[in-house]
Structure 1
């Protein structure tokens, strides 16, 4: 029997003393929901309300959310809430009936992408979207082989879990899947050259085993691998390599899309490439279950000719209302620019902290998506997962929420809502400084 796989920033039963109420909730959760779920933090949190960048526990204590990209325009944004409330009282039906709103939204969303991408299909989750995108890619190419980075996360369906290595060693990768090292800008001599060489080697290995390459899939900022943002443009040669092999490039924008990087609406745009397929989820509806796949028409043609597609809830009128409201908020509140300016302010603040705290080995990221590498010594760039865990939990005790990522579990992962203000940013920087002082 395989042992339970630990995740980054996981609650480990018995590792910390819990108050009576928390322990009781955890026991009930385990009894009712079973053993597969995981909780975050050494002492898990219980929230009852959210508003903007804040989450509130039953006692009314406010926690600054610097991690949750699902509610990308802020918890319970009134415009999104009202759009959902209004539409659910009028009509909630699926895409087998004609409805103008889904067409209006598709037109608006596709207008944010390169002109080569002309179709949009709807799903409920990012996992669904990646599952569908792989079906489309395999139908178009006639291949099965999939290339991903070695700590990537793309979803939880059967097909997608087979190319989501971050789920852990107990979740088997498919025989048609090859992993490549993440483009580690902190340790690499030449990110573009090394990443391209790794993709070409994976293509060769697939072929040697009689597997035709179908696709390379990655997100625009390599979020689960450790948040690697650049240099911008390095991805282009790897995309060229998979296309030369007859495969496609799928841009997973679940984490890096919808203005998150501050430089462009979509993470892939930072690299000057046009994907064959783009998948999205989570932030698309600010937490409401709506997701999708955008595609080049010529790529979707083969799949559409051979297979019917239907999703009971994907693209329903309420989901489209939520998604439309999110686009409205991004545009009307200038959240792309806010992600750029506030993200830069946070990054500069973290870099200043690195001048005083030797454990901060590297500060990287784009917009409101940042990674901070925690090391035990800078000269050796040695990952320090234990220190990263202490920092994450130290911030939790200061009512600030972040998490961790990377193969070595040593990178602080910071993804505040796009409505983060300079005041919120300063609180995050100040609290991190305080936690680092205590640890030193």
Structure 2
């Protein structure tokens, strides 16, 4: 298997010794010829997908795969309510936000109603990368600083500015001189995490760099998933603010009810960010993203700088986003995330008692990380074997973390008890082949 940088264990690419169907092999060759080396595929034997429905994805031969990974299709692949909203609005009108129109206003109002009162402004983009880029611009203007603190394996996007504080992209994307990284709170020790954040800002100050922002994905997905105890993040946010920085909650991964406790991941920690960014799941696969913040910050930025995004907030995107919110509410998907997620977590902890290869199990709702360990510590090769063998059994998950050894389970929110039990059963079978059961 082709090697990948730490934190990019999910980029499993085809290796020379893996046999592919002739048609898939030809498609892979065409892909590599036109897309180049930067694009990576999941799994040693890539999956050629042609259709999706709910929690299932189908290959070119019609075989179903249980999707336990794709949070972008948050309310399920090709949800008919979302498809209908998209096609209806696309057949009616699609324009940018420089004309007076109701979809963007209605979408903003609906979203802001899910936030704590101090957050009362929305700005729309197409991607989470754009939203985080915009958050940085606002933070820099508000603070007069440039310094940023992130976690060691953070991922926040791919624009030039945002890639410079996304260490998970690997050594080929160097961090900016204004960036400091801190170890994530995998152990849930909020006080220790806060000390690391404070020390990072102090180091910036020693180098004459004024602070701008502390930004984190509030489920710490690229770091290996840090969920508990609720509230552990508060001390680190206080430390950042004491240093003069804004707190930016990156909700692209944990947002839209995924943690099962609230609409947004930061709410589990009983705090109010200065700025919030969201993306991916807002459009169920359609490119929708946004920034949310306090009026003083957003309006202060707007009075000094023009902001316009041709596609951000367009009528079709907003119609899609409104439909996603309707489905989350009407189908009780936040409750489902909480209940089904607890079922998966319980089952994984039962498996951990039988298989010493399973270390810590962490998660909230339908966002779960499972450490795979060996005698020498984190076992990236073992995690890769499990991920690829599950793929052969038509279950799709991935892996994450600095050690490339954390199984990443993050299915659509419609993933229910039946799907959970099937995942656990097949994982048990897979572990019985790839890891020796405990004798205890």
Say if 1:15 and 1:42, in contact at 8 Å, map to a contact too. no
SS of equivalent to 1:156: coil
Shift in Å, 1:17? 3.0
1:124/1:313 contact within 8 Å kept? yes
Displacement after TM superposition at 1:83 (Å): 0.1
Aligned pair partner of 1:277 in 275, 278, 301: 275
Q: Distance in 2 between matches of 1:4 and 1:36?
A: 11
Matched, 1:326 2:317: no
Q: How many Å separate the matches in 1 of 2:396 and 2:144?
A: 44
1:120 to 102, 122, 125: 122
Count how many residue pairs are aligned between Structure 1 and Structure 2: 431
**2:44 counterpart residue number:** 42
> Is 1:405 aligned with 2:400?
yes
Structure 1 residues 433 and 37, CA gap change in structure 2 (3 angstroms):
same
Match in the other structure for 1:383: 378
Q: Could you say which residue in structure 1 is the equivalent of 2:180?
A: 178
Superposed CA offset, 1:402-422 (max 9, x none)? 000000000000001000111
**1:80 partnered with 2:77:** no
SS of equivalent to 2:374: coil
Structure 1 4/394 Cα, relative in aligned 2: closer, same or farther at 3 Å?
A: closer
- Work out the CA distance in 2 between the residues paired with 1:302 and 1:205: 29
**Correspondent of 1:102 among 93, 101, 104:** 104
Q: Deviations over 1:74-129 (max 9, x none)?
A: 00000000000000000000100011121111111101010000000000000110
Q: Is contact 2:145–2:211 with CA below 8 Å preserved after alignment? A: yes
Please tell me whether the aligned partners of residues 13 and 43 of structure 2 are also in contact (alpha carbons under 8 angstroms): yes
Pairs within 5 Å for 1:301-380: 301-377=299-375
Deviations 1:20-52 (A, max 9, x none): 222211110011112211111011110000000
| Distance (whole Å) between structure 2 residues aligned to residue 20 and residue 165 of structure 1 | 37
SS in 1 for 2:433: helix
Q: Distance in 2 between matches of 1:165 and 1:128?
A: 17
**What displacement does 1:372 show?**
0.5
1:133-148 residue pairs with structure 2 within 5 A? 133-148=135-150
The 1-side partners of 2:379 and 2:260 are apart by: 29
Structure 2 unmatched runs, 5+: 436-440
| Equivalent position SS for 1:115 | coil
Tell me, yes or no, if the aligned pair for 2:67 and 2:395 is still in contact at 8 Å. Answer: yes
SS of the counterpart of 2:263?
A: coil
- What is aligned with 1:416? 411
Instruction: Determine if contact 2:14/2:46 at 8 Å carries over to the other structure.
Output: no
Q: Of 424, 431, 440, which residue of structure 2 is paired with 1:429?
A: 424
Q: Secondary structure at the match of 2:309?
A: coil
**CA-CA distance at 1:164 after TM superposition:** 0.4
| Whole-angstrom CA distance in 2 between matches of 1:198 and 1:421 | 38
* 1:160 counterpart residue number: 162
For 1:158 and 1:15, the matched residues in 2 are separated by 36
Structure 2: distance between partners of 1:208 and 1:25? 53
Contact 2:234-2:269 at 8 Å conserved across structures: yes
TM-score (norm 1): 0.96
Name the CA distance, whole Å, in 2 between partners of 1:353 and 1:244: 43
Q: Secondary structure at the match of 2:308?
A: coil
For the residues of structure 2 that align with 1:398 and 1:438, how far apart are their CA atoms? Answer: 13
1:13 and 1:435 mapped to 2: Cα distance? 21
Match of 2:433 in 1: 438
Per-residue deviation, 1:4: 7.5
User: How far apart in 2 are the matches of 1:171 and 1:145?
Assistant: 18
| Residue 267 (structure 1) aligned to one of 261, 265, 268 | 265
Aligned to 2:294: 296
Provide TM-score, normalisation by structure 2: 0.96
What SS does structure 2 have at the residue aligned with 1:48? strand
Measure the CA separation in 1 of the matches of 2:357 and 2:38.
34
* Alignment CA distance shift 1:61-1:12 (3 Å): closer
| CA distance in structure 1 between the partners assigned to 2:9 and 2:78 by the alignment | 27
Aligned 8 A contact 1:147 1:202 in 2: yes
- Alpha-carbon distance in 2 for matches of 1:175, 1:252: 22
SS at match of 1:375: strand
Is the Cα contact below 8 Å between 1:5 and 1:170 reproduced in 2? no
1:129 correspondence with 2:131: yes
Q: Determine helix, strand or coil for the equivalent of 1:363.
A: strand
